[in-house]
A = this chain, B = another copy of it.
Amino acid sequence: MLEDYVKAMRPEDEELAAGIKDAREALNACQMKIKEAGLPVMVIFEGWGAAGKGSVLGKVIRNIDPRFFKVKTYAAPTEEEKRYPFLYRYIKDIPEKGKFTFYDTYWMEEITDARMDGSMSDAEYEERIDSINRTERTLVDNGYLVMKFFFHIGKKEQKKRLDELLADKDTKWRVDKSDLYENKHYDESLKVYDNYLKDTNSPTAPWYIIDAKDKKFAELQVLEFLNSGIDTALKNKDLAVPILQNTYKLKKTPKLKEIELKGKTLTEEEYDQRLDELQKELRQLHYKLYRKKIPVIIAYEGWDAAGKGGNIKRITGALDPRGFEVLPIASPEPHEKARHFLWRFWTRLPKTGHIAIFDRTWYGRVMVERIEGFCSENDWQRAYNEINEFEKELSDWGAVVIKFWVQIDKRTQLKRFKERQATPEKQWKITDEDWRNREKWNQYEGAIDEMIQKTSTEFAPWYILESVDKKYARIKALEIVIDRIKKACD
């Protein structure tokens, strides 16, 4: 893309000035439309060192009310940041509906730097590219506008600018080693950039190469692309999005009705003994995975009153409190609802060596949100694949992903609801909503069957915990957790 880039035609001064004035006003007028339409806009500035990204960015944001945008910049990742998935710190900063995030360099730079210094293999690079393409597509599919600009200047022009910056003590610090290296190895860098741009250029999130030799002209190009991008996105806002076919290998799974619950019981003695043994084993494994820096994600879903809470407690009872977190998931708060539905899970991921236990999860999308109509059919239909991709991301990062469905039958649920109501300390656990959900048992059952079928991947399989006898379910959960962690530690 860079190698065969044909320079844009710079207008004459007067025309240029008039064009900028118009484009600035157009962007200014856009911001209210964006707000009303609830369109979240990600604008990415990448490019050569000293190409003038910062100065054009400064001019672009002047046309937008500070209520509607954030500017985010990223240095090389810190040791702490390296303990999260590669995309974590960028996804944390995605805009809310109706707002802009301007990324003054994002994940591209981290990758191209690593390619240049040879620290990223071809295989790793391929994996990253896949992950980025998935991520950008899923953002766009969920209503994000992603505008990517690459600021392009030639070798000589870059050299001239770096020399100028270096000559003044107030600007000298703005030139870092990598800029000088980049200029010295301009052709190699060009190749690396060009590959990245090609590899991540998609019809829904395309790259725009900005001819950045002239600053005013660069501003005009960015403004015009941005305005036209916004225009298109606003027009397309209500279009349905293609539902991608699953591309991961799926396991064969039973329907809920086919799951045998009878006979899955343990005596008190069996339970006490196994619990003690397994908790001891898990305690040791916890230290091991901490040392090996393996992140573990345990997702709990199940019928109301199936015994999720008590099950989780038997896991956490074995763990060092400094190394795990239980994350109870309620309905999203306003600032969460205003972002991609996976955002509130991305931002709750454990760091390497830690365990995160989600009490209810991202599967709300294809259960409660589907059944209560909190999202469109197009949204939840797409979500199976989006979720598989999300879990692939976690698994590629090195995480152990364990998903539990805690299963009981309808009669058992009724018995437990009544018990809860009769026990003062447990009354808070039962709400009108639980009764309402119960009335929709059959609808939920269908949704759950579909969910388990469509998201039982090799890297993030579902495990059924038969929980009419809670003791049985607890021991089974512990055994599975131990087994998975053991395999990951080896």
Chain A positions within 8 Å of B, measured between CB atoms, are 28-29, 32, 35, 54, 57-58, 61-62, 65-67, 70-71, 73, 78-80, 102, 104, 170-171, 173-174, 284, 287-288, 291, 309, 312-313, 316-317, 319-322, 325-328, 333-335, 357, 359, 425, 428
A414 to B321 CA separation, bound complex (whole angstroms): 59
Q: Are A328 and B66 in contact (CB under 8 A)?
A: yes
Residues of chain B lying within 8 A (CB to CB) of residue A288: 170
A316 to B67 CA separation, bound complex (whole angstroms): 13
Contact partner of A73 (CB less than 8 A), chosen from B57, B62, B322, is B322
Some 9 contacts from A to B, beta carbons below 8 A apart, are A28-B425, A54-B322, A62-B313, A62-B317, A66-B327, A67-B359, A78-B78, A170-B284, A335-B335
Q: Are B71 and A322 in contact (CB under 8 A)?
A: yes
User: From A173, which residue of chain B is reached at the shortest CB distance?
Assistant: B291
Residues of chain B lying within 8 A (CB to CB) of residue A65: 309
Residues of chain B lying within 8 A (CB to CB) of residue A333: 333-335
A173 to B290 CA separation, bound complex (whole angstroms): 10
User: From A68, which residue of chain B is reached at the shortest CB distance?
Assistant: B328
A66 to B325 CA separation, bound complex (whole angstroms): 8
Q: Are B79 and A171 in contact (CB under 8 A)?
A: no
Residues of chain B lying within 8 A (CB to CB) of residue A32: 425, 428
Q: Are B66 and A312 in contact (CB under 8 A)?
A: yes
Q: Are B359 and A66 in contact (CB under 8 A)?
A: yes
Residues of chain B lying within 8 A (CB to CB) of residue A62: 313, 316-317
Q: Are A321 and B171 in contact (CB under 8 A)?
A: no
What 8 A-B pairs are tightest by C-beta distance, nearest first? A66-B326, A67-B328, A58-B321, A73-B322, A71-B321, A57-B321, A78-B80, A170-B287
User: From A174, which residue of chain B is reached at the shortest CB distance?
Assistant: B287
Q: Are A171 and B316 in contact (CB under 8 A)?
A: no
Residues of chain B lying within 8 A (CB to CB) of residue A54: 320-322
Q: Are B321 and A102 in contact (CB under 8 A)?
A: yes
Residues of chain B lying within 8 A (CB to CB) of residue A80: 78, 80
Q: Are B66 and A319 in contact (CB under 8 A)?
A: no
A319 to B54 CA separation, bound complex (whole angstroms): 10
Q: Are B312 and A29 in contact (CB under 8 A)?
A: no
A327 to B66 CA separation, bound complex (whole angstroms): 7
A62 to B58 CA separation, bound complex (whole angstroms): 52
Residues of chain B lying within 8 A (CB to CB) of residue A428: 32, 35
Contact partner of A66 (CB less than 8 A), chosen from B35, B67, B316, is B316
Residues of chain B lying within 8 A (CB to CB) of residue A359: 66-67
Decide: A325 near B71, CB < 8 A? Known: A29-B425, A333-B333: yes
A335 to B344 CA separation, bound complex (whole angstroms): 14
A347 to B357 CA separation, bound complex (whole angstroms): 26
A234 to B167 CA separation, bound complex (whole angstroms): 65
Contact partner of A320 (CB less than 8 A), chosen from B35, B58, B312, B334, is B58
User: From A287, which residue of chain B is reached at the shortest CB distance?
Assistant: B170
Residues of chain B lying within 8 A (CB to CB) of residue A327: 66
Q: Are B58 and A319 in contact (CB under 8 A)?
A: yes
Known contacts A66-B312, A104-B322; 17 additional CB pairs below 8 A are A57-B321, A57-B322, A61-B321, A62-B317, A66-B313, A66-B327, A66-B328, A66-B357, A70-B325, A71-B325, A78-B79, A78-B80, A102-B321, A104-B321, A170-B287, A173-B291, A333-B335
Q: Are B287 and A171 in contact (CB under 8 A)?
A: yes
A317 to B57 CA separation, bound complex (whole angstroms): 11
A388 to chain B, nearest CB (A): 27
